[in-house]
A and B are shown apart, each in its own frame.
Chain A
């Protein structure tokens, strides 16, 4: 898949309490989660972004709680993918499982500036900075994980596996 959008920059150790505070975990409604996404650090975040925009973050993005509400809130707010230096492991699993593409790429994080127009190919891992002309390549996913991403999440992947078993 190819995603195109504007870059939104965040720092290191963006934790799940920042992404979606615990006071909103009662809901499973993606639209409601989106409206609260990042509200403590970037008020009105979900209103400001356009569908397809991309989060660029530092190390250990998504650390803290195991809440799947975090990648759901990001995805529902219109963010097409997240590029970071590294991800916390449960966030990594959860993102793949719900079909939010995430890429690890130090070079991209070093070079991309707020508002840069980006084009990301999640199949090849190639990230193009259309504003600066920079091209970066992210770490490829293991094949097993590629399968889940191609099915757009574990839910669909499991459904297909179920179908095969029947």
Chain B
């Protein structure tokens, strides 16, 4: 069995499961974000009275935080009251950040766990060897009542990545490259495992980027085998690693597909409008005018991402016809970026900082774009209207590319903007 199958088997109290089988599993953590008032409504409509295990539930206010409209304020109010009434242990209010960043930071994510959340990017937690998957409101309401949900055991696709990335080429470029090659439906109903030297040498934030964007290929979940890097991160977040039971993939497990990639010669990549798999080298669209740059979200709002902006922009000024919006993915990220002096340097360079959360990544607030505008963003989706007007053009790139574009006011190759180390 694959480690992911072992996770499902364990949570279904079975010795064995196989791809295609439908199993009912107990989940370890259920997370609801603030788009999902439906969860509470469905919970009561189903006759729910008590939440099955309040200590295994988290509510995170990130998509509409702080509340941009009276309606979202009212939704937050109902959700807070639900949390208090049911004694739910984990409430990450508007001061916390994006769910996929704050849960690992709080030590809630660990290898071998089954994590279900009302967000498609729950695949991110494969970076920790967890089985993370997104669902809608009714599924989550069922979990709140019973702690259980049905799953189809997924086939697993192996993507082996080898080679040392060139300076200025980031994990985001790797995943965009993969998306461009495999397309948006390569992994529908399936799981993706990332392996190979490049992944082994990648830090946790980089691994999170790969797993995060797996869902853009349709993946149900993703997986990277936990190693020393994983355990070190978990320890730093207060997880008792000695107690973990980490499942391992059997040597005779058969992957449904295997892809091998060498990324040693990869150049910075960019997904051009209006599809995530419409990927070309940045050089191919060089010179395109840029109105706004966004660095943030569960894909590109970590300290390492803001660090790239700092490296490229410190002591300089962004183009006077381009806006740069930066939203740290969490309070911890924000504080660390402040401690390191990134925030001050970037504000001096012309950046606009907003409170931790999803921000304009899903077009709700904090910097949406107008019709006719071009946005280069370190986020994950470039569907029409995703970040505001459907008349806007969204280009997905690495935080390094995004920052360099803010400086130049047009699409440029970030490699030319990186000072020699």
> How many Å from the CB of A90 to the closest CB on chain B?
5
Q: Which residues in A have their C-beta under 8 angstroms from that of B220?
A: 89
Given contacts A98-B138, A154-B142, contact A64 B46 (CB under 8 A): no
Which residue from A21, A158, A162 sits with its C-beta under 8 Å from B385?
A21
- Judge whether A158 and B46 touch: CB under 8 Å: yes
Does B381 lie at the interface of the complex (its beta carbon under 8 Å from any beta carbon of A)? yes
Q: Which residues in A have their C-beta under 8 angstroms from that of B185?
A: 13, 59-60, 63, 86, 88
- Judge whether A144 and B135 touch: CB under 8 Å: no
Binding-face segment, B69-77, B224-232, B233-241, B334-342: B69-77
Taken residue by residue from 166 to 186, chain B's Cβ proximity to chain A (1 for < 8 Å, 0 otherwise) reads as: 000000000000000000110
Binding-face segment, B5-13, B33-41, B103-111, B311-319: B33-41
Determine the residue in chain B with the shortest Cβ distance to A96: B138
Q: Which residues in B have their C-beta under 8 angstroms from that of A17?
A: 362-363, 381, 383-386
Q: How far is the CA of A23 from the CA of B386 in the complex (A)?
A: 9
- Judge whether B42 and A155 touch: CB under 8 Å: yes
Q: Which residues in A have their C-beta under 8 angstroms from that of B64?
A: 26
Given contacts A64-B381, A68-B38, contact A23 B184 (CB under 8 A): no
Chain B, 141-177, CB within 8 A of any chain A CB: 141-142, 145-146, 150
> How many Å from the CB of B70 to the closest CB on chain A?
9
- Judge whether B383 and A162 touch: CB under 8 Å: no
- Judge whether A66 and B383 touch: CB under 8 Å: no
Q: Which residues in A have their C-beta under 8 angstroms from that of B41?
A: 28
Given contacts A155-B46, A158-B142, contact A94 B71 (CB under 8 A): no
Taken residue by residue from 49 to 76, chain B's Cβ proximity to chain A (1 for < 8 Å, 0 otherwise) reads as: 0000000000000011000010110010
Determine the residue in chain B with the shortest Cβ distance to A68: B136
- Judge whether A18 and B136 touch: CB under 8 Å: no
Determine the residue in chain B with the shortest Cβ distance to A91: B136
A–B complex contacts, Cβ < 8 Å, 27 sampled = A15-B381, A15-B383, A17-B362, A17-B381, A18-B383, A22-B362, A22-B363, A23-B363, A26-B64, A26-B69, A26-B71, A63-B218, A65-B120, A66-B134, A66-B135, A67-B136, A68-B136, A86-B188, A88-B188, A93-B136, A94-B139, A154-B138, A155-B138, A158-B142, A159-B46, A159-B47, A162-B47
Q: How far is the CA of A86 from the CA of B183 in the complex (A)?
A: 14
Given contacts A22-B364, A23-B364, contact A162 B46 (CB under 8 A): yes
Taken residue by residue from 68 to 108, chain A's Cβ proximity to chain B (1 for < 8 Å, 0 otherwise) reads as: 11000000000000000011111011100110000000000
- Judge whether B218 and A94 touch: CB under 8 Å: no
B interface size (C-beta, 8 A):
47
Q: Which residues in A have their C-beta under 8 angstroms from that of B354?
A: none
Q: Which residues in A have their C-beta under 8 angstroms from that of B353?
A: none
> How many Å from the CB of A50 to the closest CB on chain B?
26
Closest 7 CB pairs of A and B: A68-B136, A94-B136, A97-B138, A60-B185, A66-B134, A26-B71, A22-B362
Chain A, 118-155, CB within 8 A of any chain B CB: 142, 144, 153-155
Q: How far is the CA of A98 from the CA of B383 in the complex (A)?
A: 25
Given contacts A63-B184, A158-B145, contact A68 B47 (CB under 8 A): no
Does A110 lie at the interface of the complex (its beta carbon under 8 Å from any beta carbon of B)? no
Q: A residues touching B (Cβ–Cβ < 8 Å)?
A: 13, 15, 17-18, 21-23, 25-28, 40-41, 59-60, 63-69, 86-90, 92-94, 97-98, 142, 144, 153-155, 158-159, 162
Taken residue by residue from 109 to 145, chain B's Cβ proximity to chain A (1 for < 8 Å, 0 otherwise) reads as: 0000000001110100000000000111111011001
Q: How far is the CA of A40 from the CA of B139 in the complex (A)?
A: 28
Does B390 lie at the interface of the complex (its beta carbon under 8 Å from any beta carbon of A)? yes
Q: How far is the CA of A142 from the CA of B71 in the complex (A)?
A: 39
- Judge whether B139 and A89 touch: CB under 8 Å: no
Given contacts A40-B384, A68-B136, A144-B150, contact A89 B363 (CB under 8 A): no
- Judge whether A40 and B120 touch: CB under 8 Å: no
Q: Which residues in B have their C-beta under 8 angstroms from that of A158?
A: 46, 142, 145-146
Q: How far is the CA of A59 from the CA of B218 in the complex (A)?
A: 11
Does B22 lie at the interface of the complex (its beta carbon under 8 Å from any beta carbon of A)? yes
> How many Å from the CB of A136 to the closest CB on chain B?
21
Given contacts A13-B184, A13-B275, A21-B363, contact A90 B135 (CB under 8 A): yes
Determine the residue in chain A with the shortest Cβ distance to B134: A66
Q: Which residues in B have their C-beta under 8 angstroms from that of A23?
A: 363-364
Q: How far is the CA of A159 from the CA of B136 in the complex (A)?
A: 18
> How many Å from the CB of B45 to the closest CB on chain A?
6
Does B92 lie at the interface of the complex (its beta carbon under 8 Å from any beta carbon of A)? no
Does B417 lie at the interface of the complex (its beta carbon under 8 Å from any beta carbon of A)? no
